[in-house]
Each structure stands twice: as structure tokens, then as C-alpha cells.
Amino acid sequence: MTIPFIQPRLDQLLADMQAQNDPFVLLQTFCQYLRDGGQCQANERVNLFIGLLQQHPDFANRISRLLCRWLCQMRLYPLLVSSGILSRDGFGKEMKQRLYEKMNPAFKDSKDLRDVFFMLFHDRRDLAWLKAISVKTWVNLFATFQHYTEQADQNWLHQHLYHEGYSAIEMLAIWLAAEDLEPELMRLDPNLLDAHSPFVALQKEVAQWLSAQQQGEHYDDSHLQVMLSQCRKQIDRFHKRGVVAGSSLGVAHLLERLTQTLDRLVLLKGLFSTSKLSLLRLLQATEIFAEAATDQHNIAVLWKQSASMLSRTIAQNTSDHGEHYVTRSKKEYFAMFYSAAGGGILIALMALLKIYLGDVIEDKLWKSVAYGLNYGLGFMLIFMLHFTVATKQPAMTAARFAEAVERNPQGRAVNMKLAQLLIDVVRSQTIAVLGNVAFAMGLSALIAHFYAQQKGVALLDHAAIDYQLHAIDPTQGALWFAAIAGVWLFCSGIISGYFDNRSNYLNSKMRLRYHPVLKYLMPEKCRIGIANYLHDNYGSLMGNFCFGMLLGLTGLVGYWLGLPLDIRHVAFSSANLGYVAVSGELSQPLIWQNLGFVLLIGVVNLLVSFTLALRVALKSLNTEIDSWCEIARCLCEIIRKRPLSLFLPLQLEK
């Protein structure tokens, strides 16, 4: 029964389509009819259109003949081999083309099936109503068209489809074999130079299969299936090697295209492997082409496709660093404390230098640059001396947590392991923060005390004391500024992973070992030592330096923009509190109150950086937490059984 408010549109559709002899315009009219109904009415409207065809046999016969002969005159091959597959021009050139297409769109030719799909499905919202149409409805629509199509036209279309499909399969196999010559792939796996490359073997198998298909002979494709499996394993090896040997947007783009090409070959082989087309496979292919049309000029989609492996590589490098920040034994626990203590000592000195710089530099710009260099170079020195800044850990440990999720996506045993990892992370963070805060505050108090004894005046005057106490007051925006610092902590983890990846990609170890200038300046042993150190620690050094500069320049950016932007870092806040406590002769209750404020800043630092890092790491690994509730239950169970293990190296499982 026709829904009353759809009937006028259906009558108008019939009138519009009867007045047309252009198959493309007919398809455009039909798609607009479905688009107007949206996701809710799409399925119903197709069923009504099927009824309309059955009520008007002459109209159905004319439409079927027009569409069938139009398809027979179209080249399907370009659509089959390129739609939805990244171009062979590389990431940079394709990005430029898409940007240019946004500003100056190319002419769309209704005789090119790729452009036809783009003009029919030009909006991302089109996918919603397309997917709302059931398979049964599509089958009924195709069956109706087939019923009203003459047998001669059906035979012609059948031959045309298979001819174009076989040509596309042949070209896709050739493309896969040709990828062996890509220098980036040979860098990832030099074994590609062997004559037994799976891609070359696949092309030979596909050629034999096509020959048998075209001659109507039976062909056992079991070996072909083996080669397809080996090609997939080879692509997986490329991805794994990319994590170790370094990746780039170009490499990620290349591997994504390789995967897409292999997937398309499998799709078309399945579609054209029998003498009669499978309607379900045909619908699957059509949906893929429609979705590809909506993404054809989408810059965000291109970035997402090409950056996936690069982000995974960065996350992996970050995770490797994160393993060093998790303590699982008494020895590791106390080693973390001593390391954090060393970091706290240097942070107290960095905080003192910052106070001095603030007094001697008047210009806002140069003061911010000096602050950034103080932070950046200080953090680098802390790293080089194997000390620890507690808040640097979350961005690293979050990536480690995400990697554990990826290896074991679900199940109670996995949730228990993740809960245990969280316990280990909390315990490690707690002792690291304690080491930083205790020694930063303790040393700064000693420095302020000896300064007052030697100079006869307090290290900080009343204005400086009021400023420092105001800076850590949660009611004055301290927690907001702590959250900003948490964002920069997260960014520093990403920066570290990026530069580690770049170091591997460029093979900086060998570059530095044989650099002509270094060969001239220093002996081989010294050169090799420097090359090894910089290659292994490039990411951490750059991450620490960039983190320091971000901290130093945030206030300047806020000043320029007139926005409340500043940073609060738990270790520096504790050091400043030590100077204030002695200079201002604060009472014990006031000291404890402000120490609580400092620890609250630390909690925000840690939570923000860990949350952001975990979200990005999970996304880069294409995984997700199965159930936070289950992990929380496991967490409570562990705490109930071994409560001391949450903060102390006691009750740890052997």
C-alpha cells in the first residue's frame, strides 16, 4: 500500500523518467527520489518504485533496455581498478590534487563511470540511505529489471561485464607484481629482490586462472589461494618492519594502496569466478564504489588512510619507552624512586634559575624563550643523567597499556592483566611523584634557608611569595593550567615517538657513523658511540626539549591572544612551594594545605596526559577497551587481595 505523502513524489518520478531518454539523468532522478526520503523512507521508496515498474510494463521495458545498453557502451575497467584505491602518485601529490579539486573542481563526464558514481553519490549522507535499503529489496529491484530486459541485451551485458572484469583482474595482478620494484618496500624487506616474491608468483597464477576462465576450462585455484594468503602475510611483514625500521606518510600510503589493490583483486576474482554473477557480490562491489565516490576528494579520509601505519609506528615507539616507566619489583620500585629523586634535585635548580631569569629579563618574548630553554635543556639533562620526571610517564605508559589491549582484545583474563598493569602504573607514578616532589621541595627549602643565612634577607620578597601561592591555588585557575601542562605532556610523548620513527626511517645510526665531517673531526670509536647514542635516544631528547619549549611559551601565547593560558607542573610547583615555605615562614597547616594543592596539580597533569595518550594509542592500534566496568571490577579485586601493592612494592605476585 502506497504511503499517501509519497504518492505525489512517486507520480512525479514516473512523469520525469518517462520524459527522459538519457540513462544517466534517469539514474540521477531516481537517486534524488531516494535522497529526498532519507534513511527512514529509502527502503519503502524502492519497493514502491518496484511496484511502479510492475504496473507499467512498457515503461519498465524501456528503462531496462536503456540502462542495459548504456552499461554495455561504458568502460567499466577504470572504475574497477581505481575507484577506492589510493593513486600511485604518492601521498604528497594526491593531497595536492584533492586540495586543488576543492578549489577548482574538474569537469565530470557522464560517460566515465567513475564520474557517474561521484555525481550520483556526492554526499557522505548518501551512504546512510543506501545502507538502509535491505538486500532483499535490492534483489527484487534487479530481478524486476532482469524480467523486463530482452535476452539479447542480457547476453551482451554479461559478456561486457566479464570482459571488463577480467581485464581489471589482470591489471591489478600486474600492479601488485610491479610493487616489488618500489625502493621503500625493498628497504623494508630486501628479500623482495628474490625471484620467489609472492606478488610475482601471484601474478603468474592469476594469468593462468584468467586463461582458463576465458577458455571455459576448469582450473584448480588452490595454489592461487595460497599465493593470496602469502601476499597478505607479506604485507603484514611490511607493517611490522615499518614499526622497527621507521615509516613515513609515503610508506604508509604505499602499504595502504597495496592492501587496497589486493582486496580489490580478491573481490573481483570472487565476483567473476563463476559463469553467473552473484548478485550479493555485485551489491557488495557497488556499495564499495559508492562509498569510494563519496570519499573521492575527501582530504580527511586520505589523511586517515595514509597516516594509520605512521601513527601505529609512533605509538609503538612510545610504548617501547613506556615499558621502562613501569615497576614490577622492589628493585625497580626503588630504582624509580632514586631516579625521580635525581630529577627532583635538578628541578629545584631549574625552578631557582627560572626565578632568577624572571628578575633579570624584562621583555616578555625573551623571558618566555629563556623559560622554554631552561625547561627544555633541563629536561634533556635529566634524561641524559637517567633521572626521571614523573609526569613524563603517563604518555608513555598509556601507549604500553593500549598495546596490551591490542594483543588481547577481550576476556576476563585479559581484563585482569590490564587491571594489574594499571596497578603497576599507579604504583610507579606514585613513587616517581613522591621522589620528584620530596627532593625538589626539600632542596629548594635548603637553598632558601642558606640564602637567607648568607644574605640576611629572604630569597623571595612578599610580592613573589604572594604570586607563587596564588599560582597553585585551585580557585585561581591552577587546575586549568595544570590541564594545559597535561596536554603538553601528551604532545611530548607523540613528539618522542615521531622522532624515534624518523631516526629509524633515516637510519641515522649509519648516517652519523660515516658522516664525512664527523669522520674528519673524531676517531671511529667516538663517532660510533655518538651515533649509537643519538640514534637510540633521538626521540626522547627531542620530546624533552619540545616539552620544555611548550611549557615556556604557553604564557606568551596567552598574553598575545588575551586568553587565560599558562602552565602548572607538579614538580616545579613543589619546588616553588619549598622556596615560599622558607622565605615566607609559612605555618605548618598552610604548608600542608599548599602541598595538597601541589599534589592536586599533579593528579590533573597525570590524568589529562594519560587519558589523551591512551585514546590516541588505542585509535592508532585500531582497538578499544572491551569493558571499563570489568577492568574496574578486576581492579577492586586485586586491591582487596593485595591493597599494599597499589602504592608500595609489597604483596607483589612472583
- Print the domain residue range for 397: 313-646
Q: What percent of the chain has pLDDT over 90?
A: 29
46/141 Cα distance (integer angstroms): 8
Total structural domains within the chain: 2
Q: How does DSSP assign 173-186, residue by residue?
A: HHHHHHGGG-HHHH
Which three three-digit cell numbers place residue 41?
523512507
319/313 Cα distance (integer angstroms): 10
**Which range, 19-23, 97-101, 171-175, is most confident?**
171-175
Which three three-digit cell numbers place residue 591?
604548608
Q: How does DSSP assign 262-287, residue by residue?
A: HHHHHHHHHHHSSSS--HHHHHHHHH
Radius of gyration of the chain (CA): 33
Q: Pick from 237, 270, 297: which residue ends a domain?
A: 297
Answer yes or no: is 303 within a domain: no
Answer yes or no: is 652 within a domain: no
Answer yes or no: is 302 within a domain: no
Phi, psi dihedral angles at 611 (to 5 degrees): -65, -50
Burial (CB count within 10 angstroms: exposed 0-12, middle 13-18, buried 19+), residue 617:
buried
For residue 542, which amino acid is it?
M
Q: Pick from 297, 321, 339: which residue ends a domain?
A: 297
Predicted pLDDT at 2: 46
Q: Does residue 539 share a domain with residue 446?
A: yes
- How far from 524 is each of 23, 148, 369, 531, CA to CA, in Å? 74, 82, 37, 10
Q: Does residue 260 share a domain with residue 324?
A: no
Q: Does residue 263 share a domain with residue 329?
A: no
Predicted pLDDT at 318: 55
Which three three-digit cell numbers place residue 372?
622554554
553: domain CATH number?
1.20.1080.10
> Could you give the residue ranges of the DSSP H alpha helices within 412-461?
412-455
CA torsion sign for 565, 569, 575, 580 is: positive
Instruction: Say what the pTM is.
Output: 0.70
Q: Does residue 209 share a domain with residue 146?
A: yes
Q: What is the pLDDT confidence band of residue 1, given thresholds at 50, 70 and 90?
A: very low
Q: What percent of the chain has pLDDT over 70?
A: 88
Look up residue 171 and give its DSSP letter. H
Q: What is the pLDDT confidence band of residue 244, given thresholds at 50, 70 and 90?
A: low
Task: Quickly count: other Cβ atoms within 10 Å of residue 536's Cβ.
Answer: 13
pLDDT tens digits for range 22-52:
888 888 888 888 888 888 888 888 888 888 8
Q: Does residue 107 share a domain with residue 36?
A: yes
Which three three-digit cell numbers place residue 172?
591489478
Answer yes or no: is 141 within a domain: yes
Q: Does residue 189 share a domain with residue 102?
A: yes
Q: Does residue 438 share a domain with residue 571?
A: yes
Helices 249-272 and 222-245: crossing angle, nearest 10°?
Answer: 170
594/387 Cα distance (integer angstroms): 26
Average pLDDT for residues 74-83, to the nearest whole number? 87
Q: Determine which of 197-201, 266-270, 291-295, 412-416 has the lowest per-residue pLDDT on average.
A: 412-416
Average pLDDT for residues 580-589, to the nearest whole number? 90
Which three three-digit cell numbers place residue 419?
587491571
Phi, psi dihedral angles at 9 (to 5 degrees): -65, -35
Buried b (16+ CB within 10 A) or exposed e, 492-516: bbbbbbbbbbbbbbeebbeebbeee
Residue whose C-alpha is closest to residue 232's, from 202, 254, 210: 202
527/530 Cα distance (integer angstroms): 5
Q: Does residue 276 share a domain with residue 354?
A: no
For residue 159, which amino acid is it?
Q
pLDDT tens digits for range 108-126:
888 888 888 888 887 778 8
Answer yes or no: is 151 within a domain: yes
Answer yes or no: is 306 within a domain: no
pLDDT tens digits for range 200-222:
889 999 999 999 988 888 888 88
With cell 545502507, the residue in question is 131
Average pLDDT for residues 593-598, to the nearest whole number? 94
456/341 Cα distance (integer angstroms): 29
Asked if 578 and 347 count as a contact pair (C-beta separation under 8 A), the reply is: no
Predicted pLDDT at 317: 56
Asked if 66 and 150 count as a contact pair (C-beta separation under 8 A), the reply is: no
pLDDT at 479 over 90: yes
Answer yes or no: is 406 within a domain: yes
Q: Does residue 246 share a domain with residue 373?
A: no
Predicted pLDDT at 654: 45
Asked if 417 and 635 count as a contact pair (C-beta separation under 8 A), the reply is: no
Q: Does residue 141 share a domain with residue 287?
A: yes
Q: Does residue 369 share a domain with residue 287?
A: no
pLDDT at 393 over 80: no
Answer yes or no: is 2 within a domain: no
606/487 Cα distance (integer angstroms): 10
Predicted pLDDT at 594: 93
pLDDT tens digits for range 167-209:
999 999 999 888 877 887 877 777 776 657 888 889 999 999 9
Q: Does residue 323 share a domain with residue 446?
A: yes
145/223 Cα distance (integer angstroms): 38
Q: Pick from 297, 322, 340: which residue ends a domain?
A: 297
